[in-house]
Amino acid sequence: MNWKLKLLIATGGSFVVLLIAFWIWWGHWVNYSANYQYPYIFDKYTGQIEPLPNTGYKILTPWHYDFHVIDLRPRQVCINANNRVLNCKLVSFNLAGFKQFMTWHGAGAFDDDDSGYEILKSYAFDSSGGTDCPFLSVTQSTGSNGLVQAPELR
């Protein structure tokens, strides 16, 4: 075999191995949070949940930290029956109650986007309307008569 061909095979093989190693590193170590998300980490060694100061890319060791985000955008949650909407509310996560929410539900509550909003939905439609939950903000509410009720001023 020609030495140029051996060099080409070695260079190509090294490039492929480095590319695969980079993809593995990127997939396990590099995390991203968008500007509408609130990033936080769960320390597996101490059990502490710590919010991160800003959004963007974070490089974290996967055996030490779990990376999580909370979507801060408002979302409509509704109670339906027989394909009819009975009541809807526009809810969002309020950062003032972050610690209480984590105490009640744990670090992975918003891992699946729908599960986090199902939790907020249950508090928005409880008997107190979510007023006793500092992590819930109800922006708008539609009653059973279909009229939009103005948000309460706080």
Taking only the tens place, the pLDDT of each residue in 22-42 is 999 888 899 999 999 999 999
For residues 84 and 22, membership in a common domain is answered with no
Taking only the tens place, the pLDDT of each residue in 86-141 is 788 899 999 999 999 999 998 888 887 788 888 988 888 887 767 788 999 888 77
Of 70, 101, 131, which one is at a domain's C-terminal end? 70
Of 70, 101, 117, which one is at a domain's C-terminal end? 70
pLDDT at 146 over 70: no
Which amino acid, residue 53?
P
Query: How many CB atoms within 10 Å of residue 97?
Result: 16
For residues 64 and 80, membership in a common domain is answered with no
For residues 46 and 86, membership in a common domain is answered with no
For residues 3 and 49, membership in a common domain is answered with yes
Where residue 9 falls (left for φ over 0; alpha for ψ -120 to 50; beta otherwise) is alpha
Domain that holds residue 102: 73-154
Domain count, the chain: 2
pTM score of the predicted model: 0.76
